[in-house]
Structure 1
């Protein structure tokens, strides 16, 4: 009897904890905006990623650069693929509002839902396997106009010797799509439902 009571108590705590987690996450998501983005080069290399920020504090134009605490971005991730769509590498340049990528350049117009201007996302510690996507706008110096410099994006990688190589180039823009606000919540509810069903399977006498 004691064993059954303990299992029941644990089950109730587990379900309650999941419910609270969903409630808290739902509240956070009510003020969050999440977007996916993708880019494809002329020879088939591609990059895909996502980012999010708090809509209650972010301005209409979000600009981030360098290391340390970000102004608005909460997270930013990117994955790189070869022409056969095989994953080359994945990085998370921004995590929990902190950038770990010194060359970071990111600009986003939330009104137009467009990425624009200087762009440099990935990882480059001059180590083998480092990969990043950038454009020449990140190299603008005083005295040079945007029209003079090429706007092409470069898919960059460091080979096993650590030497930089440009694997692909393209003038293709980085395309952005907004993630539906309810999709993450639905996923969390599904996880909670699964947990509840498992509890009932292994403890049929458990009821809420």
Structure 2
């Protein structure tokens, strides 16, 4: 990551819920694009789809960084911001990058430690590091309703995932998050593939205490 100071916003384009903010780095003769996207990526369809929660978050970013609504971002042209430049994207804030395993890693088992556990209302996310990069294992319990363009929690699936989490880690989700008792816990992670194409990380159950 590289922090680029005081770049001028020279162009704003919007298309189907996505705003591209173009910043100019005069000294280098470069542009840096920052995306504010109200859509989320759906692995099932392989497409970006509208999401009410993401849209609300984008509106918060517009107010926080430009004091404008999403549809009036073009009024911010001429302002200057610091831009965080990463290998594959740019941001107005320092971001944690979540990597995904490549297909050639399928079948590999790695030993690492739990870095953080979060629950965002869509699923439980267990973060860990591998070769200086952050990855995560997901235990999802929400489903996207195409006709309503929104994610909805499935209470039965959530209960099953919470039970599965407790059976795997021998502690409840809420306790794990609130106390951080699993942070630093050694884990074994197997890289798997679903339906021959979706690569994911499966954390093996912790040994039961005697």
**TM-score, structure 2 normalization:** 0.24
Q: Which has the higher contact order (CA 8 A, sep 6+)?
A: 1
Which protein is bigger by CA-based radius of gyration?
1
